Structure 1
Amino acid sequence: MSRCQAKLAIAFIAAASAVVTMSPSSAAPSTSRGLISVAQVVQMLEQAPTDRTARQVLTAYLAGVGEAAGAVASMGRATCRTSLNLSVADVGQALSSAAAGQAAAETPATPLIVRDMLDRAGCKRS
């Protein structure tokens, strides 16, 4: 992935972050640093099957996370045994332990999801 593609991935994540934070007032809060929280993503996972807006926000966010994981692997010159992939079930599993505690509103979700993607693909730095 080129630097331009990496910058686009980061811009996409920023846009998705803005969409997530513009959710209805009943949405789970971002972290105190303004990052997308585990609580927000878990809430979107729960609402997505029946709420079109939640489904669109979740899709945009996860697309950005996937792009970010690809950028991290590429910029870190990682080699992976399998291709990077992401599903709703993977995200739920990656966030399940963090979502159980009170810290879910203060725990950033994106690094947990990216780390899980890289681990599942067997990525190692070259």
Structure 2
Amino acid sequence: MPSTTCGSAATEWLAKLSRAIVTGDAIEARACVLELASWSPADVAQPPGLSGLELVVAAAMLELLAERAHQSTPPWTAAVGGWPEPVFLVESALRFPNLRRMCETESPAPLKRRNLFAPANYLTWA
């Protein structure tokens, strides 16, 4: 595993991932997920300078990546609450009722408990 000391590249990748998701940049988000796959989620520090929604997304995504890798998460993610209104991480869910319902019912737990919604396979690779 790469070292996560001295500014932590993994923390920077998590910040990039969160910003990409919030701005709807799916290609950047997928690239960030691939970069984060080589890091231990428990070693990723809370990214500084994120907006409220970006921090919620960062915590949820780190928990989701940790869950998928059967690894633990850092304590800071548990302290990050949810967003006050529903946020659909796949923009087309706002236009397609069936996709919206699927996101609402199948969204992974780390996302759903923070009022974030996406398909169950969100940002996975085949």
Please give the TM-score of this superposition, normalised by the length of structure 1: 0.31
More helix by share: 1
* Greater relative CO (CA pairs within 8 A, separation 6+): 1
